Structure 1
Amino acid sequence: MLDFAIFAVTFVIILVVAVLYLYPSSRRASGIPGLNPTDEKDGNLQDIVDRGSLHEFLVGLHQEFGSVASFWFGGRPVVSLGSVNQLRQHINPNHTTDSFETILKSLLGYQSGMGGGTNESVIRKKVYESAINNMLKNNFSVMLKVVEELVGKWKSFPETQHTPLGAHLLGLAMKTVTQLALGERFRDDVAVISFRKNHDAIWSEIGKGYLDGSLEKSSSRKAHYEKALSEMESVLLSVAKERKPQRTQTVFIDTLLQSSLTERQIVEDCMVFTLAGCVITANLCIWALHFLSTSEEVQDKLYQEMEDVLGSEPVSLDKIPQLKYCQQVLNETVRTAKLTPVAARLQELEGKVDQHVIPKETLVIYALGVVLQDSDTWSIPYRFDPDRFEEESAKKSFCLLGFSGSQTCPELRFAYTVATVLLSTLVRQLKLHKLEGQVMEVRSELVSTPKDETWITVSRRH
């Protein structure tokens, strides 16, 4: 089965940076239709910059050359797959290497591993996923409390007040992730604010300076980034030392501490989860509430499901699987927003898609943003329509792309849980209303984010 589990390898520069260092160069022409390099040194890098994002570049590439197309990054050929059928054919035999972990850790300067190959990688992955599962089971009430505090705050607003989704939901994500991952220390807002400062400084540079080398060219930016990274690591190490004596596996870091991971590996895994978990959770929630604000019908249908399944009781972890329409709403949010528009793999062995041979060590891009709005797969693809996921074909395509089912990455599963708690609490108490004249523009980077702050108004449901 195709391994599309990794949501966050969505920016080709990050992957290429690691590939260039980790793997030998491959300069064999693929023979696949596509662009010739516009620059001998940089390949089609300037073309990507000119289009504004890798996603927009891939949209144009596939419009011109079809669902299997090629371009160049430096001296390396890159193949992009832009339809469900082609993605289904592409089988990467490496099912143990986690692309997100490999690339993000490489970018952060993390190179430690288990040291023993495939078995240790599998063990480490299982520990990571077990840590998230234990964290959710043991701290669901904490998540519910944070959500209820936010909804209570919104209920106190006058109906004419404009509510900034980005500011509020990033705060929600930060509080949830830090308390569930790192424990009681982050019940203090001062600790969360300090964490957020460093988080923002690190995340803003991931991928940002790798198109034009601007991070390396700016000593002040690089110093700011390195200081934030060092401070964040110090906090994570401090939390690890603080919680190591306890034997219960209550929060994320506790499970890691009870495993065979080294202290350094624990810090790295906590960094990966807290960085990615905050951003993907916040943006899934932002987009979900934005789309809900545009459709009273969807809100009412979601409200009715909550009433039927939950009654007057708060949502619980065991009830979440019964909220089928809520799952459809979140699936459609991911699809319509192109939440993670690109993933990638290295072609470790020679492969074939249609009649095209993909040479060994070719970088293969999964143009998920193109596929998620392909009219051959999705009817009226630009319309937000959760009902489309009642169809079995839609469910299968979504699962194939790695956004649902057993192949979904742990961070995205976590984000779905937080978003479900938010929706189940919010729509039973409030109605969401869009602001007339607000234009939503997307910034497609590691995670698709609204380019500007997103505003809504709220009113009481009863």
Structure 2
Amino acid sequence: MLDFAIFAVTFVIILVGAVLYLYPSSRRASGIPGLNPTDEKDGNLQDIVNKGSLHEFLVSLHQEFGSVASFWFGGRPGVSLGSCAAATPTHQPQPQQYVVHTGTDLQADSFETMLKSLLGYQSGMGGGATETVIRKKMYESAINNTLKNNFPLVLKLVEELVGKWKSFPEDQHTPLCAHLLGLAMKTVTQLALGESFRDDAEVISFRKNHNSEIGKGYLDGSLEKSSSRKGHYEKALSEMESVLLSVAKARKAQRKQTVFVDTLLQSSLTERQIMEDCMVFTLAGCVITANLCIWALHFLSASEEVQDKLYQELDAVLGSDPITLDKIPQLRYCQQVLNETVRTAKLTPVAARLQEVEGKVDQHVIPKETLVIYALGVVLQDSDTWSAPYRFDPDRFEEESVRKSFCLLGFSGNQTCPELRFAYTVATVLLSTLVRQLKLHRLKDQVVEVRSELVATPKDETWITVSKRN
């Protein structure tokens, strides 16, 4: 589980590194209140390290300088937006209380950019705007079609896990991270790559490279300092790419059209581009799905009241029938639970864009080529936007203003990344199946730290117990 956490943690470094790598540097000062560089070369990087994470650094930065603050990421000036108003990256007219941040590239997906930079993928990153939009739509369409075609498989995998938990004695400690990472890996690989990943041996082999090697080493610099470490990484990446390429060739010969890779094979994408998109989906889809499910069950185990309210909705909408794709929109409280999980756990506390043209937020001018950080972890627990921000309270999403704030930040609606939409579907199937059959109980005296990185992960394993519903 620690390797999985390290993989998630390194996304922050890679996200910012991707933005910096793709664009030339600028030394022009922003004029926005903030920190001076503590080192000519590294800027405020040591300050970030001293705080323990980029998120904790941004929390401190905004406490000192307000909702719009500047700092230096290496030799590049950066601006962090730390309120719902400031961090709303949209050109569309908004209500008066929202301040518009203009001049960013809204087509690029920071999560995809980050992963492609980590993996050394460049195809599709330097193409024209039209090509980028077309490829992005194709990627999203492939995920949506995969869910529609394979929803019974998602339900089957979830039912297998719930059946396993039902067989446990009531005092047995159930490891959330291990079980839900396994569920996410099985779901994503089978929906992305097809029935060959119904073989547990294939999943275990893929998971070994996925968890233990890809991304590991960036946090402490060992990938660059150690030739053997770099060799392990390159071997793991090569093995994963080889598997994806062979799967694509086999699926093309069979002319099937049921899973993610099949939709890409019907397009004009090159073999390399198809492999890259499969890699991004399997990596991002697994990480986000696992973490959403882990935190949702963790929070539910600590709140019998929320569990009971969710059970009542599930019973009213579904009765004793299995969930279906068309029933998901009717589960409004379940959606609120997942929204509040994303918010409370700060599932994606950092995003980044490059200011491609001169922009403005509030009274501040943001110069061209400034790195703009959306401090979403700060925004998601901003007391001016959220009442009792540190409390897990799905009922807050009954308010239209709260739902709108969440949507504007990109966690719901059209701006949601496709991997998060996928994760919401899997998590809804899990909750609808599990909560109607079992009650979740948190272990006494267990302390779980919400890690404040790009993708939140429990510090170590998280344990619960389960009991059957009467």
Query: What's the TM-score, normalizing by structure 2?
Result: 0.94
Mapped partners of 2:462, 2:205: distance in 1: 24
The 3-state SS of whatever aligns with 2:326 is coil
Q: Which residue number corresponds to residue 274 of structure 1? A: 282
Q: CA deviation at 1:213?
A: 3.2
The 3-state SS of whatever aligns with 2:279 is helix
Which residue identity does 1:58 align to in structure 2? L
Q: Which residue number corresponds to residue 410 of structure 1? A: 418
Tell me the C-alpha RMSD between the 2 structures.
Answer: 1.5
CA offsets per residue over residues 237-274 of structure 1, 9 Å max, x none? 01001100233420000000110000000000000000
Gapped runs of 5+ residues in structure 2? 1-7, 89-99
Pair 1:131 & 2:142 matched: yes
- Structure-to-structure mapping, 1:11-410, within 5 angstroms: 11-88=11-88, 89-113=100-124, 117-205=128-216, 209=218, 213-410=221-418
Note closer, same or farther for the CA distance 1:116–1:77 as it changes in structure 2 (3 Å cut): closer
Q: CA deviation at 1:214?
A: 2.9
Q: CA deviation at 1:11?
A: 4.9
CA offsets per residue over residues 112-132 of structure 1, 9 Å max, x none? 128751211111111101110
Residues 232-241 or 37-46, more deviating: 37-46
Whether the aligned pair in 2 keeps the contact of 1:247 and 1:258 (CA below 8 Å) is no
Which residue identity does 2:76 align to in structure 1? R
Mapped partners of 2:406, 2:313: distance in 1: 22
CA offsets per residue over residues 366-420 of structure 1, 9 Å max, x none? 0000000011100000000000000001100000110001110000000000000
Note closer, same or farther for the CA distance 1:204–1:451 as it changes in structure 2 (3 Å cut): farther
Q: CA deviation at 1:443?
A: 2.4
Whether the aligned pair in 1 keeps the contact of 2:103 and 2:358 (CA below 8 Å) is no
Percent sequence identity over aligned pairs: 85
Which residue identity does 1:102 align to in structure 2? T
The 3-state SS of whatever aligns with 1:84 is coil
CA offsets per residue over residues 219-253 of structure 1, 9 Å max, x none? 22211111110100000001001100233420000
Mapped partners of 2:17, 2:38: distance in 1: 19
Which residue identity does 2:405 align to in structure 1? S
Whether the aligned pair in 2 keeps the contact of 1:434 and 1:455 (CA below 8 Å) is yes
Q: Which residue number corresponds to residue 4 of structure 1? A: none
Mapped partners of 1:396, 1:217: distance in 2: 46
Q: CA deviation at 1:98?
A: 2.6
Q: CA deviation at 1:99?
A: 2.5
Note closer, same or farther for the CA distance 1:92–1:57 as it changes in structure 2 (3 Å cut): same
- Structure-to-structure mapping, 1:441-452, within 5 angstroms: 441-452=449-460
Q: CA deviation at 1:22?
A: 1.9
The 3-state SS of whatever aligns with 1:85 is coil
Which residue identity does 1:441 align to in structure 2? E
The 3-state SS of whatever aligns with 2:368 is coil
Gapped runs of 5+ residues in structure 1? 1-7
Number of aligned positions between the proteins: 452
Which residue identity does 2:136 align to in structure 1? K
Note closer, same or farther for the CA distance 1:431–1:16 as it changes in structure 2 (3 Å cut): closer
Q: CA deviation at 1:204?
A: 4.0
Residues 195-204 or 63-72, more deviating: 195-204
The 3-state SS of whatever aligns with 1:457 is strand
CA offsets per residue over residues 401-455 of structure 1, 9 Å max, x none? 1000111000000000000000000000000000010011122333010001000
Q: CA deviation at 1:16?
A: 3.4
Residues 441-450 or 386-395, more deviating: 441-450
Mapped partners of 2:287, 2:104: distance in 1: 30
Which residue identity does 2:350 align to in structure 1? V
Whether the aligned pair in 2 keeps the contact of 1:9 and 1:15 (CA below 8 Å) is no
Q: CA deviation at 1:10?
A: 9.1
Q: Which residue number corresponds to residue 5 of structure 1? A: none
Q: Which residue number corresponds to residue 97 of structure 2? A: none
Mapped partners of 2:169, 2:16: distance in 1: 49
Which residue identity does 1:224 align to in structure 2? H
Note closer, same or farther for the CA distance 1:11–1:364 as it changes in structure 2 (3 Å cut): farther
